Amino acid sequence: VPDSTSHAVVGVVLRARDARLQVLLVDDSLPFAPLARDASLEQALAAAVDLNALAHREQLETILLDDGTIATAYLGLARPDGHLRGGWFPIRHLPQLRPDEEQLMLAARARLRAKLSYTNVGFALAPETFTISELREVYVAALGHDVSATNLQRVLVRRGVLERVDGRRAPGRTGGRPAALFRFAMQCLEVTDEFAALRPPR
């Protein structure tokens, strides 16, 4: 009986900072760890990245890598201030990755972009409290296109995703009205936009 294929877990860890989406790389590649016999996938992931520094994680997909090992990839999201082993690179300006790593990175970004529209997943990229302008920067970085602060606020407040929090942020040197502070109402993933079509009858 031949050995079965070896199995690894890969983490695609993203954060939004400096108005850009960044990926965590360790030694010029996505962090990974082999799957030990009888260990869970989460345990293997924990060996690759510090799970405590991730505000959210979810499984992405399992693929056969170029070198013949099977890899289960996870999407991890980190807040701008968390620290993880490795370095952060802007997703639009990465060092050369292997084709399979590139594919996983793109899958992670696509998943994040989709979920920003119909879940509260923004909570995992934003700091604890923030102004709407700051949140807008996070969304712009992650989505890669412009977002109106006005409409972002209205959509998220209407859905109950954002909550006002006491206090205001003082304006900078150039003046301007002090900004209200908000936080995400939930700190775990929730679907906030039940699909409009084909809803169950009332």
Site of interaction with a copy of itself (CB under 8 A): 2-7, 34-41, 59, 61-64, 68, 70, 72, 114, 116-118, 139, 143, 145-148, 152, 155, 193, 195-198, 200-201
DSSP state of 95: P
What's the CA gap between 194 and 57, in Å, rounded? 21
Give the three-class secondary structure for 121: helix
Residue from the set 150, 160, 167, 187 that interacts with DNA by CB under 7 A = 150
- How many residues at the interface with DNA, by CB under 7 A? 31
Nearer to DNA, 30 or 161 (CB): 161
Buried b (16+ CB within 10 A) or exposed e, 70-104: ebbbbbbbbbbeeebebebbebeeeeebeebbeeb
DSSP string covering 126-154: S-SSB-HHHHHHHHHHHHSS---HHHHHH
Residue from the set 5, 40, 62, 151 that interacts with DNA by CB under 7 A = 151
Q: Does 19 bind DNA (CB under 7 A)?
A: no
Nearer to a copy of itself, 61 or 134 (CB): 61
What's the CA gap between 131 and 13, in Å, rounded? 24
Give the three-class secondary structure for 10: strand
| Shortest Å distance, C-beta 128 to a copy of itself | 22
35: which 2 tokens? 């799957």
Nearer to DNA, 33 or 116 (CB): 116
Cross-strand partners of 181: 165
Give the three-class secondary structure for 198: coil
Nearer to a copy of itself, 36 or 165 (CB): 36
Residues 177-196 that bind DNA (CB under 7 A): 177-180, 193, 196
Q: With CB cut-offs between 5 and 8 Å by kind, which of a copy of itself, DNA, none does residue 176 bind? A: DNA
Chain residues that interact with DNA, rule: CB under 7 A: 131-133, 148-151, 153-155, 158-159, 168, 170-180, 193, 196-199, 201-202
